[in-house]
Amino acid sequence: MPSGNIDYPKPGETTRVDKTEILNTEATLHDGGVLVKVIALSIDPYLRSRMHDPNTPFESYLWYNMDAEQAAQLRVIKNDEKLPWSTYLGVLGMPGQTAYIGWKQYSQAKKGETVFVTSAAGAVGSFVVQLAKAQGLTVIASAGSDDKVEFVQDIGADVGLENGIDIYWDNVGSEMVDAALQAMNNFGRIICCGAIASYNTPNRYGIKNMHQVVEKRLTFNGFIMNDLAKDYLPDFYKTYPRMVASGKIKHREQLYYGFDGAEQALADIQKGENIAKPVVMILDEEGSKASLPNGGTTGITSRDGTLSANES
C-alpha cells in the first residue's frame, strides 16, 4: 500500500448515494431505446478515475432509460448455464475478459516459462493465473493478505522464483514494475494491465530500472480491453461460461447489498480491503430487492467457485 498523500474514497464523506432523482418508468421511452432494470452493479478499480469531479455522478439507476445509440451497444447474454448474474460482472464480465484478451494478445506464452502476476487474487489476476497454469507455465503471484494468498495457491500459483520472469502481468504499477524489471529474463514480455498503486495518490512513483528494457530486450504492452474485445469475445463466451459452471475456472465474489453497499465497495477495492470481486446486488433474480439469506441488506457475502453463499 502506498504511504504519504493518499486520497481513498470515504463513504458518506467523499462518496454519497443520491436518491433524489426519480425516473418515471411510465414515461415514453427514447425513440428506439430500451429501459434497463439493474440487477447487479460492478465495482472496478478504474471507477476511481471518474471520481475527480464531485459534480459528475456514476450512472447507476435502478432503471436506466437508454437511447437507440446506447442500446445498440447492449449484448444479450443467454446464460444457458444458469449462473448467477453477478458472475457476468466478474469472471465472465469485463475483468475476466481483460485477462483473456491481454493474455492471448500479448503473452506469447510457452510451456515451461515463468509468469509473475500482481494483485493475483483479484478478478483479472486470478483469471490470468489460471490461463497461465493451463498452458504449463510456472506462476509466481503476489496478493495482499493470507486469505488472498491461500486462494491464489488454491487456483494453482507456485511458490518460489528460481529462473527469473519471462512474462510480467502488471496490475499495480509503481515499485512492482521496478522489482519485476530487475527479475526479468532476456526477451521477456511485460503486460501493463493496470496501475492501482497510483490511482489514489498524486505522488506518482518514478520507475528506476528502465535501462533493463534495453539490456534485456524486453517488450512493454499496455492495453485497454475494449479496443480488442470484438475480436475475442465470441470465443470467450463460447468457452468460459461452461468452464466456470463446471468449476474448471475458479473465482470468488464479494457481494454488497443495496446502493448503500456501493459506497463501501468503492472504498474497499481501492484500499485492498475487498476479499474478492466486488458486486453490488440491487435486485434478486425475481426482481425483488436483493438481500442476504438472513434478510439483511447491507452485509457481505463471499462465494468461491462452488457458488454457495456464505454469510459473514
Ligand X SMILES: NC(=O)c1ccc[n+]([C@@H]2O[C@H](COP(=O)([O-])OP(=O)(O)OC[C@H]3O[C@@H](n4cnc5c(N)ncnc54)[C@H](OP(=O)(O)O)[C@@H]3O)[C@@H](O)[C@H]2O)c1
172 binds ligand X (CB under 6 A): yes
Residue whose CB is less far from ligand X, 99 or 282: 99
Min dist CB 266 to ligand X, Å, is 11
- Determine the size of the site formed for ligand X (CB under 6 A): 30
Helix 94-106 vs helix 225-245: crossing angle, to nearest 10: 110
Applying CB under 6 A, which part among 26-34, 38-46, 205-213, 257-265 lies near ligand X?
Answer: 38-46
Residue whose CB is less far from ligand X, 25 or 145: 145
2 binds ligand X (CB under 6 A): yes
Min dist CB 132 to ligand X, Å, is 15
Min dist CB 198 to ligand X, Å, is 8
95 binds ligand X (CB under 6 A): yes
d(C-alpha 282, C-alpha 285), whole Å: 10
44 binds ligand X (CB under 6 A): yes
- Select from 98, 212, 254, 302 the one that contacts ligand X (CB under 6 A): 98
- Select from 66, 197, 280, 281 the one that contacts ligand X (CB under 6 A): 197
**111-170 binders of ligand X (CB under 6 A):** 119, 121-125, 143-145, 148
Min dist CB 295 to ligand X, Å, is 28
Backbone φ, ψ for residue 27 (5° rounding): -65, 155
Contact pattern from residue 256 through residue 295 relative to ligand X, giving x for each residue in contact according to CB under 6 A and a dash for the rest: -------------x--x-x---------------------
87 binds ligand X (CB under 6 A): no
Min dist CB 78 to ligand X, Å, is 24
11 binds ligand X (CB under 6 A): no
Q: The dihedral of CA 116, 122, 128, 131: what is its sign?
A: positive
Min dist CB 180 to ligand X, Å, is 13
190 binds ligand X (CB under 6 A): no
Residue whose CB is less far from ligand X, 158 or 273: 273
- Select from 225, 265, 266, 300 the one that contacts ligand X (CB under 6 A): 225
Helix 146-154 vs helix 123-134: crossing angle, to nearest 10: 30
DSSP collapsed to 3 states, the chain: CCCCCCCCCCECCCECCCCCCCCCCCCCCCCCCEEEECCEEECCHHHHHHCCCCCCCCCCCCEEEECHHHHCCCCCCCCCCCCCHHHHHCCCCHHHHHHHHHHHHHCCCCCCCEEEECCCCCHHHHHHHHHHHHCCCEEEECCCCHHHHHHHHHCCCCCCCCCCEEEEEECCCCHHHHHHHHHEEEEEEEEECCCHHHCCCCCCCCCCCCHHHHHCCCEEEECCHHHHHHHHHHHHHHHHHHHHHCCCCCCCEEEEEHHHHHHHHHHHHHHCCCCCEEEEECECCCCCECCCCCCCCCCEEEECCCCCCEEC
224 binds ligand X (CB under 6 A): yes
Which residues make up the interface to ligand X (CB under 6 A)? 1-2, 44-46, 94-95, 98, 119, 121-125, 143-145, 148, 171-172, 193-194, 196-197, 223-225, 269, 272, 274
